[in-house]
């Protein structure tokens, strides 16, 4: 499998090259040359397969022979060694819980898969690699945990000051070892722009081998499609068309699900549920894409005004607006609506949702009211404790604190403050 730049299709690289370099030389995102269909018999047998067996069949075409079968099977087994339950919320709706991994967030899958792939590739080559990543919340902690102690790899994480939760900040600023956190005066889009600029800065790349662990990296992005295979594995007995509502920020998660759909996974429709940072819902209404100024919200991991992965979504559907709208609906919700949804979910089903899951619930609720007869799943992307103040204040009740989070909160935060790209460049060259 080759990967080409969406900005210049003549630039084609191997899976290894795309993973190690993160972004194409022209700053374009890498995209697979083909989306290989899976045999219908695979989907018929899927409920009987183990999760690692299922995951290998789905991922192997995108990796090819660049990682030996036994190594890839082991990577996937280690990546997916926790639960992904679909919890019933209503007769026509469930929550896919993606927060049972080590950092209590859905980013654990992509971060762990990428860390192990990069570790394998780096073991064949001498030299140090710097993973440079921007985070709006959960990516930083998942990447830090996934790469902690990996030989030959340094991790530099940029995060917006004052715009991540306390738990999220502790997860990316307290590990030490090969992990460094840079606290940026700005918003997530500023962090992401700095990362992209650094990749093209020859003064930096002459001194450091850079790669990214954001969902712009194919090894962080593609394994997220496994969530949808895992959910279908649990729901294959249902006869209704299956709909997924995805809390969306940088749009890597929902984009990966669309890859699975194009491989044959029986998904009827996708819903992109956002907060007021609504570039994609606005596009679906007007047909004109325009980045929006990022506004902080209580669902901070979705505070993205110019989602990088939307260009991949457009490519999946042939840059055809009509075809895209047949497969994707978009909804945006305010903080007040999000809080009300958290209360509604709790009072009707005793289920505690975090703000991001609540946004997904709202999108699904609106869609199902207009499209009865379908079964919907909203993604619960983070444990409620990661947004403890918001959840407890909204629900007026205490949320049990996992022991590993309590011990994390007692650790000393260590970060380096930066104001602009010049500060980042100075750090990387020092």
DSSP per residue over 226-273, as a string? HHHHHHHHHHTT--SPEEEEEE-SSSHHHHHHHHHHHTT----EEEEE
Is there a contact between 424 and 407 (Cβ–Cβ < 8 Å)? Answer: no
Quote the tokens at residue 201.
Answer: 């800065």
pLDDT at 85: 98
Phi/psi for 90 (5° steps) reads -140, 175
Question: Is residue 364 predicted with pLDDT exceeding 70?
Answer: yes
Q: Look at residues 178, 142, 172, 147 and name the one whose alpha carbon lies nearest to residue 160.
A: 172
Least confident of 87-91, 139-143, 194-198, 370-374: 139-143
Q: What is the mean pLDDT of the chain?
A: 93
Least confident of 9-13, 88-92, 144-148: 144-148
368-to-7, 244, 360, 372 alpha-carbon distances in Å: 37, 11, 12, 5
pLDDT at 176: 85
Quote the tokens at residue 309.
Answer: 């992965």
pLDDT at 59: 98
* Average pLDDT of the segment spanning 10-36: 93
Is there a contact between 21 and 188 (Cβ–Cβ < 8 Å)? Answer: no
pLDDT at 152: 84
Task: Give residue-wise pLDDT tens across range 273-292.
Answer: 999 999 999 999 999 999 99
Residues contacting residue 251 through CB under 8 Å, at least 6 positions apart: 215, 272, 280, 307, 308, 309, 310, 312, 313
The SS3 call for residue 399 is: coil
Question: Is residue 123 predicted with pLDDT exceeding 80?
Answer: no
pLDDT at 12: 97
Residues contacting residue 345 through CB under 8 Å, at least 6 positions apart: 89, 351, 352, 353, 358, 361
CA angle 303, 309, 313 (to 5 degrees): 125
Task: Give residue-wise pLDDT tens across range 167-189.
Answer: 889 988 988 889 999 999 998 88
Q: Among residues of the chain, what percentage have pLDDT more than 90?
A: 76
pLDDT at 323: 96
Other CB atoms within a 10 A radius of the CB of residue 273 amount to: 32
Task: Give residue-wise pLDDT tens across range 378-418.
Answer: 999 999 998 989 999 999 999 888 877 877 888 889 999 99
Q: Which residues pair with 380 in a beta bridge?
A: 97
Residue owning tokens 């609906």: 329
pLDDT at 137: 72
Q: Is the dihedral of CA 398, 161, 405, 304 positive or negative?
A: positive
Quote the tokens at residue 93.
Answer: 């709706």
Per CATH, domain 69-102+221-399 is 3.30.70.370: no
Quote the tokens at residue 407.
Answer: 């011990």
Distance CA 110, CA 98 (A): 12
Is there a contact between 267 and 241 (Cβ–Cβ < 8 Å)? Answer: no
pLDDT at 126: 63
* Average pLDDT of the segment spanning 219-231: 97
Distance CA 412, CA 94 (A): 38
Quote the tokens at residue 333.
Answer: 């919700």
Distance CA 315, CA 308 (A): 13
User: Residue 164 — pLDDT band, cuts 50, 70, 90?
Assistant: confident
Least confident of 130-144, 148-162, 167-181, 385-399: 130-144
The 3 state secondary structure assigned to 195-214 is HHHHHCCHHHHCCCEEEECC
Question: Is residue 30 predicted with pLDDT exceeding 80?
Answer: yes
pLDDT at 150: 82
Quote the tokens at residue 168.
Answer: 């999220």
* Average pLDDT of the segment spanning 77-87: 96
pLDDT at 140: 80
Residue owning tokens 């795309």: 18
**Could you tell me which residue, 330 or 211, shows the higher pLDDT?**
330
162-to-77, 137, 300, 301, 422 alpha-carbon distances in Å: 36, 11, 11, 13, 21
pLDDT at 165: 82
Enzyme catalytic residues: 107
Quote the tokens at residue 189.
Answer: 């889009």
174 HSE (CA, 13 A, CB side) = 16
Residue owning tokens 């499209």: 371
pLDDT at 313: 97
Residue owning tokens 């502790």: 170
pLDDT at 299: 95
Quote the tokens at residue 401.
Answer: 């604190």
User: Residue 98 — pLDDT band, cuts 50, 70, 90?
Assistant: very high
pLDDT at 245: 98
């Amino acid at each position: 499998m080759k990967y080409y730049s969406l900005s210049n299709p003549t630039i084609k690289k191997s899976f290894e090259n795309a993973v190690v370099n993160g972004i194409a030389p022209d700053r374009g995102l890498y995209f697979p040359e083909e989306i290989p269909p899976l045999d219908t018999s695979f989907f018929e047998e899927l409920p009987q397969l183990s999760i690692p067996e299922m995951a290998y069949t789905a991922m192997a075409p995108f990796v090819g022979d660049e990682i030996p079968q036994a190594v890839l099977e082991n990577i996937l087994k280690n990546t997916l060694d926790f639960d992904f339950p679909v919890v019933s919320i209503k007769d026509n709706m469930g929550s896919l819980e993606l927060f049972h991994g080590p950092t209590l967030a859905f980013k654990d899958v992509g971060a762990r898969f990428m860390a192990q792939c990069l570790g394998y590739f780096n073991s064949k080559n001498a030299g140090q690699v710097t993973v440079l990543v921007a985070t709006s919340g959960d990516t930083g902690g998942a990447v830090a945990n996934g790469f902690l102690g990996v030989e030959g790899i340094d991790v530099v994480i940029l995060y917006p000051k004052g715009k991540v939760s306390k738990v999220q900040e502790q997860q990316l600023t307290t590990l030490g070892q090969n992990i460094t956190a840079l606290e940026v005066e700005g918003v997530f889009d500023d962090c992401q722009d700095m990362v992209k600029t650094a990749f093209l800065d020859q003064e930096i790349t002459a001194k450091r081998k850079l790669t990214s662990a954001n969902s712009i990296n194919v090894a962080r992005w593609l394994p997220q499609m496994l969530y949808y295979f895992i959910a279908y594995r649990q729901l294959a007995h249902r006869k209704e068309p299956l709909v997924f509502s995805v809390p969306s920020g940088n749009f890597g998660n929902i984009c990966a699900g669309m890859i699975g759909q194009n491989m044959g996974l029986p998904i009827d429709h996708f819903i992109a549920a956002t907060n007021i940072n609504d570039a994609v819902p606005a596009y679906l209404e007007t047909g004109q894409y325009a980045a929006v100024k990022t506004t902080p919200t209580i669902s901070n991991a979705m505070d993205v005004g110019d989602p990088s992965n939307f260009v991949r979504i457009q490519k999946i559907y042939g840059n055809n607006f009509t075809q895209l709208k047949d497969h994707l609906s978009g909804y945006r919700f305010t903080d007040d609506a999000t809080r009300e949804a958290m209360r509604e979910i709790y009072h009707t089903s005793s289920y505690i949702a975090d703000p991001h899951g609540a946004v997904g619930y709202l999108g699904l609720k609106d869609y199902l009211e207009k499209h009865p007869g379908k079964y919907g799943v909203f993604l619960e992307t983070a444990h409620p404790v990661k947004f403890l103040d918001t959840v407890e204040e909204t629900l007026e009740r205490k949320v049990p604190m996992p022991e590993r989070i309590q011990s994390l909160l007692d650790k000393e935060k260590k970060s380096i403050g930066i104001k602009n790209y010049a500060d980042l460049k100075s750090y990387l060259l020092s």
